[in-house]
Amino acid sequence: MALDNLRDLYQQVILERYKKPRHRGKTNPVHRYQRGHNPSCGDTIELTVKLNETGDRIEDVKFEGEGCAIAMASADLMSEALQGKSLEEALDMVQRFQNMMQGKGEFPFEQRKLNVMQGVSQFPVRIKCATLTWHTLKAAIEASNPQPAGFVSNE
């Protein structure tokens, strides 16, 4: 079997993050909490967000959940990329990630780690796996209080 085709999808960074995620867990304290799931496959994710004192900038993001290599690596890379970002910047990144999944554009140099997910755009059925964490983030940011707001669905 030509696994070569799969190297674009399963880049080493993705496999490493799947095996050894760096941002699993819960933030302390929890200022935003959101669960997301992918109803077609059962993948789940729980994001917690710690904000700064003025509540407009992300200090920390952590995730819990179960899913495939793409979903979990995407959540880990996203959590890392969001450290220190304003909520507005984070929402821009959600849009940029969605565009990248459509094959349109990529992240700038300082966020280039996220570009390892670009290969997913060649596997349309797997885009949902990669975007689950970003959909969940968007819902977390847009929620006005830290209470769990039910599941956000990725469909």
Partner 1 sequence: MTLIQEKTIAAKVRSDFPILNEQIHGKPLVYLDNAATSQKPIAVLNALQHYYKHDNANVHRGVHTLSSRATDAYEGARDKIAAFVNAAFRQEIVYTRNASEAINLVAYSWGLANLQPGDEIILTVMEHHSNLIPWQLIAQRTGAVLKFVELTETEEFDFDHFKSLLSNKTKLVAVVHISNTLGCINPVKEICAEAHRYGVRVLIDASQSVPHLPIDVQDIDCDWLVATGHKMCGPTGIGFLYGKLDLLRSMPPFLGGGEMIADVFLDHSTYADLPHKFEAGTPAIAEAIALGAAVDYLTNIGMDKIHAYEEELTAYLFQQLEQIPEVRTYGPKPKADGSGRAALAAFTAGGTHPHDLSTILDQAGVAIRAGHHCTQPLHRYLGAQSTARASLYFYNTREEIDVFIAALKEAIEFFGSLFG
Residues composing the chain: 155
56 binds partner 1 (CB under 8 A): no
Candidate segments 37-45, 85-93, 101-109, 134-142, binder of partner 1 by CB under 8 A? 37-45
Q: Which residue has the tokens 């969605």?
A: 98
68 binds partner 1 (CB under 8 A): yes
Tokens read off for 60: 């920390």
Task: Find the binder of partner 1 among 36, 62, 63, 67 (CB under 8 A).
Answer: 67
Smallest gap from Cβ 2 to partner 1, in A, equals 7
Tokens read off for 145: 């209080």
Tokens read off for 16: 């490493």
Closest alpha carbon to 139 in 36, 54, 56, 7: 36
Task: Find the binder of partner 1 among 45, 49, 70, 87 (CB under 8 A).
Answer: 70
Task: Name the residue nearer to partner 1 (CB basis): 14 or 141.
Answer: 14
Smallest gap from Cβ 19 to partner 1, in A, equals 5
**Beta carbons of 40 and 155 less than 8 angstroms apart:** yes
Smallest gap from Cβ 102 to partner 1, in A, equals 19
Q: What crossing angle do the helices spanning 87-101 and 127-142 adopt, rounded to 10°?
A: 160
130 binds partner 1 (CB under 8 A): no
Task: Find the binder of partner 1 among 29, 40, 88, 102 (CB under 8 A).
Answer: 40
129 binds partner 1 (CB under 8 A): yes
Task: Find the binder of partner 1 among 42, 55, 109, 110 (CB under 8 A).
Answer: 42
Tokens read off for 91: 């929402």
Helices and strands, counts by H and E, the chain = 5, 4
